[in-house]
Amino acid sequence: MEFSDQISALLRDPVFVAAATGAAGVAILAGGVWLIGLAVRAARRRREEAHAAQERMMELAHLQAETAGRVRAMSEMLHAQHAELQRAVNARLDAVTHHLGQSMQATTRQTTDNLQKLNERLAVIDTAQKNITQLASEVTSLQGILSNKQQRGAFGQGRMEIIVRDGLPASAYEFQFTLSNRTRPDCAIFLPDQRPLIIDAKFPLEAMTALRDARTDEERKFACARVRQDVLRHVNDIAEKYLLPGETHELALMFVPSESVYADLHDGFDDLIQKAFRARVVVVSPSLLMLAIQVIQQIQRDARMREAAELIRNEVELLSDDLSRLRDRVVKLEKHFGQANEDIRQILVSADKIDKRAGKIRELEFEGADDIPSGVVIPAPIARRLEAGE
């Protein structure tokens, strides 16, 4: 029961009314009225608060409904975005996978090509290594050959023979040719005047080797003196043995089988080259010997052309005589043809006259031809020889 109902019940109670009628009842009544006012205001306030609470509850319910709708819409939107994101991620992953596959294929091909090229280069390197190893062994053997005097002479002789064989016919040279003084040079090349050009391939290489191996100035000085001494001695030997007046050519060739040795001679011993040239001995390297062989080829070719020039002149004179006789015979033949043409022309003229006479005979009309008795033979016209011009 509410407080206002309780107050109403007290006022209807006779005891309470009687008591209230007393002196103290007035105060009690006033206090009760005040209390009743307070209670009424409190009740009104509670109703307002309850109404406000109900409105708030309604607003909260409305907000909850709106929030639920928004949450549902947001959930749908998030679901759609999640699906779109998943599709985009899948498409991106497919593109990345495809690109990665192509890249891996290209990388695989490129790697395969690079490996193949690498294998080819390794094969080339292996071949080069084998060649280097073989070359090193050949260099070692070459050093062994050059350290031995006899083997070094055979090496120089072999190189010289290869150059001469490659450049000249077999009839133009002879190895170990014997001269009148019983000496046998390494090679003799026969020039057009039949005087052989002598080539010596025994170059003294010991001094040059000692010069290259010299470490001190004293050793170098001693090696230089030895080079001059050995080379000049060899030049003098060539000049004395192989330069025979009237038998051999005025010059002889001293073959140096190494371009580097020849370059060292020219760089450091130019005086030796000049002294050798004054002694009519020309120092040549393999390349200079090839050049000399080419010059000798041209000289021999020119000599053969000069030898054939007289024969060519005689043949030309005989050809001219044959041409003159041919012209005379053609002139005679032309005369015969002219006479034959004239005879043919006259024959054609006679044939034309005979044809005309035959035409005239065909045009003749015999009178009384029908009266000729049968069996009577008409004599044929007597043939006569045609004269010239008829």
Tens of pLDDT, residues 138-156: 544 445 444 555 555 566 7
Rounded Cα distance, 175 and 157, in Å: 10
Question: Residue 10: how many CA atoms within 13 Å on its side-chain side?
Answer: 15
As a whole number of angstroms, the distance between CA 140 and CA 193 comes to 44
Q: Is 305 part of any domain?
A: yes
pLDDT in tens, 272-328: 888 888 888 888 888 888 888 888 888 888 777 777 777 777 877 888 788 888 888
Terminal-residue alpha carbon distance, the chain: 191
Asked if the structure places residue 320 within a domain, the reply is no
Question: How large a percentage of the chain has pLDDT more than 90?
Answer: 0
> Is 80 exceeded by the pLDDT of residue 224?
yes
- Beta bridge pairs of residue 255: 284
Q: Say if CB 196 and CB 188 are below 8 A apart.
A: yes
Please name the residue that has the structure tokens 């080819």: 120
378 falls in which pLDDT band (50, 70, 90)?
very low
What does the alpha-carbon distance between residue 328 and residue 190 come to, in Å, rounded to a whole number? 49
Any domain includes 367:
no
Q: What is the pLDDT of residues 50-66, one digit of tens each?
A: 888 888 888 888 888 88
Mean pLDDT of 206-224: 79
HEC-encoded secondary structure of 329-343: HHHHHHHHHHHHHHH
Tell me 247's DSSP state.
T
Is the predicted pLDDT of residue 380 greater than 60, yes or no?
no
Mean predicted lDDT score pLDDT of the chain: 76
CA distance 388 to 347: 9
**What is the Cα–Cα distance from 32 to 38, expressed in whole angstroms?**
10
Region 121-146 average pLDDT: 66
Contact 186, 202 (CB under 8 A): yes
- Structural domain contains residue 201: yes
Alpha carbons 76 and 328: distance in angstroms, whole number: 127
d(CA 160, CA 150): 15
Residue 220 has pLDDT above 50, yes or no: yes
Question: Which residue range forms the structural domain that includes residue 260?
Answer: 132-309
Task: Report the b/e string of 328-367 with b at 16+ CB within 10 A.
Answer: eeeeeeeeeeeeeeeeeeeeeeeeeeeeeeeeeeeeeeee
Distances 169 to 137, 173, 186, 195, 255 between C-alpha atoms, Å: 34, 8, 17, 17, 20
Residue 302 belongs to a domain: yes
Three-class secondary structure assignment of 295-327: HHHHHHHHHHHHHHHHHHHHHHHHHHHHHHHHH
Residue 35 in tokens = 């209390």
Q: Tell me whether residue 167 is in a domain.
A: yes
Number of domains in the chain: 1
pLDDT value, residue 383: 44
- The pLDDT value recorded for residue 145 is 45
Asked, for residue 319, whether it belongs to a domain, the answer is: no
Q: What percent of the chain has pLDDT over 70?
A: 79
236 occurs within a structural domain: yes
Per residue in 3-48, pLDDT tens? 556 656 655 666 555 555 554 555 666 676 777 777 778 878 888 8
The pLDDT of 204-222, averaged and rounded, is 78
Taking only the tens place, the pLDDT of each residue in 341-358 is 888 888 888 888 888 888
Instruction: Give the integer Cα–Cα distance in Å for 221 and 205.
Output: 17
Q: For residue 105, what are its two tokens?
A: 């294929």
Residue 95: the pLDDT is 82
pLDDT of 264 higher than 70:
yes
Alpha-carbon distance 376 to 369, whole Å? Answer: 11
pLDDT tens by residue, 163-194: 888 888 888 888 888 888 888 888 888 888 77
- Summarised one tens digit per residue, pLDDT across range 105-122 is 888 888 888 888 888 888
**pLDDT confidence of residue 32:** 67
Helix (H, G, I), strand (E, B) or coil at 144: helix
Tell me the torsion sign for CA atoms 188, 194, 286, 181: positive
Rg (CA), the chain: 72
pLDDT, residue 337, reads 79
